[in-house]
Amino acid sequence: MDGSLTPKSIESLVEPDRVHRLCYTDEDIFQREMEKIHETVWIYVGHKSQVKEPGDYYTVQVGRQLLFMVRGADDKIRVFYNRCPHRGAMLCSSRSGNAGRRFRCSYHAWMFDFDGSVASIPALNGYEGTRFNKDDPDAQLKPAARVDDYRGFYFVSLKEDGPDLDSFLGGAKLSLDQLVDRAPEGDVEVVGDCFRMIQKSNWKIFLENQLDVSHPSATHESTGVATWKIERAMEKRTGQKAPLSYSFLSAFKMPIEDWRMFETVGHPQGHCMLQGYMGLRPQDPDTLEYEGLIKKAYGEERGEEILSTDLHHVLVYPCLSVQPPLQQLRAIRPLGPDRTLTEIWHFRLKGAPEPIYRRALDYYYLVNSPSTMVNADDLHNFWKCHEGLRRDGGDWVSLHRNAGQDRIEDGVQYSAPDTMSEMPLRSMMQAWKHYMTQGD
């Protein structure tokens, strides 16, 4: 656009059943997204298990800002801007590590405690008679405006005002509840490091794809058919059913029309859910042992409630894709209109049998890792979408499927039954429009 963005011009880009291509490609719009969305609303920074010991830190980008989370000697987790207040050098240049007793800036050896305060400055007497005061907030590490966690998942907002984290998460809390409650010991931990990928497309294209139920069998059909053939050959040869992990891929053989059975839900904040895709409750000994541990820990009724909740994907807008039954979480970090970093994390359910962990690990590697055909299919389509959208050939992106047919209850949208409604895409873009025009 020409740099003169106004609420009215932004509102004109999002209609009830279609979206203008500039929402995905325009640099001015992207910069406004960073200001109005990613540097305003609550954004995920990491899990408590990423910083287990005092001095452990993990760096993260929120909007255009570089930050890090650190566990202090008091066991409190804080989040600071990754910038020395002296000359502006990044304090942490590694993605993660342990700072020892305190942080040391590599440029001039200023030292900082884990609460952000100045521990020491070489040749401090050189500041006598100047306006500098090491007790001034400007001399300390700058904290994120607001930091809070929900069940060990830490979020920041870079603005002082706005709804609290609990209110912002709203119905999306169920995704994190499910991820934690599925652990017999009621806690989870990150396993190893994450997969990291830079996608050559706009961040919204990735989010939309996660709940686009009309694409899997079209995009991933070749993977589904090839795996299905291997399953049949294996069963013919051994007389035994193929391992469950094969079904993670052969499910993509399912006809496109059959995806109508799954329900999607859209929340006012932009959060969306896909329900009913896979229950992951085969009656094998490993699963029965695991379910027994859940019901022992929570009681029969609550245990069954946890196990029967079938959430396949939950989008915590605008920064997370959570798959609770599969112990996965993807964090979205926009880098530019056409570049998006995703971090794919895998969690261990504390107290769960090792085969349950291994089953989820299979999905992590077979479906979500950078090396899978499934991911390659998606990344190729994301790139093709973005390349098409930034050129001529029509100004609008169609979101018409079942438009006007979904139901709304208490502000929450539910896809029309027996459809492949594009409601989640419409819901997210309506939330996008709200965030992009608020405060003006």
Looking at residue 395, what DSSP letter applies?
S
Task: Please state, for a pLDDT cut of 90, what percent of the chain lies above it.
Answer: 82
**pLDDT value at position 260?**
79
Whole-prediction pTM value? Answer: 0.95
Q: Tell me the angle at which helices 203-210 and 373-389 cross, rounded to the nearest 10 degrees.
A: 130
- Sheet hosting strand 153-157, strand order edge to edge: 43-47, 153-157, 146-150
Where does the pLDDT of residue 112 fall: very low under 50, low under 70, confident under 90, or very high at 90 and above? very high
The whole-number pLDDT of residue 123 equals 85
Bridge partners of 65, per DSSP, are 62
Q: With 60 as the cut, is the pLDDT of residue 3 above it?
A: no
pLDDT tens readout for residues 352-367: 999 999 999 999 999 9
For range 79-85, the mean pLDDT: 97
CATH code of domain 170-213+262-437:
3.90.380.10
More confident residue, 27 or 123: 27
Question: Across the beta sheet with 103-104, what order do the strands follow?
Answer: 103-104, 111-112, 118-120
Q: Given pLDDT bands bounded at 50, 70 and 90, which one contains residue 278?
A: low
At 192, the pLDDT band (50, 70, 90 cuts) reads confident
Question: Which ranges of 44-183 would DSSP assign to H, the alpha helix?
Answer: 165-169, 173-181
pLDDT of residue 2: 55
Q: Class assignment of domain 43-158?
A: mainly beta
Spans of all domains in the chain: 43-158, 170-213+262-437
The answer, yes or no, to whether residue 274 has pLDDT greater than 80, is yes
Alpha carbons 377 and 226: distance in angstroms, whole number: 14
Per-residue pLDDT tens for 326-356?
999 999 999 999 999 999 999 999 999 999 9
Q: Which residues of 351-368 are buried (b: 16+ CB within 10 A; e: fewer)?
A: bbbeebbebbbbbbebbb
Task: Tell me whether domains 43-158 and 170-213+262-437 share a fold.
Answer: no
Average pLDDT over residues 212-236: 92
Q: Residue 365 gets which letter from DSSP?
A: I
CA distances from 55 to 69, 71, 100, 113, 310 (A): 10, 6, 6, 9, 38
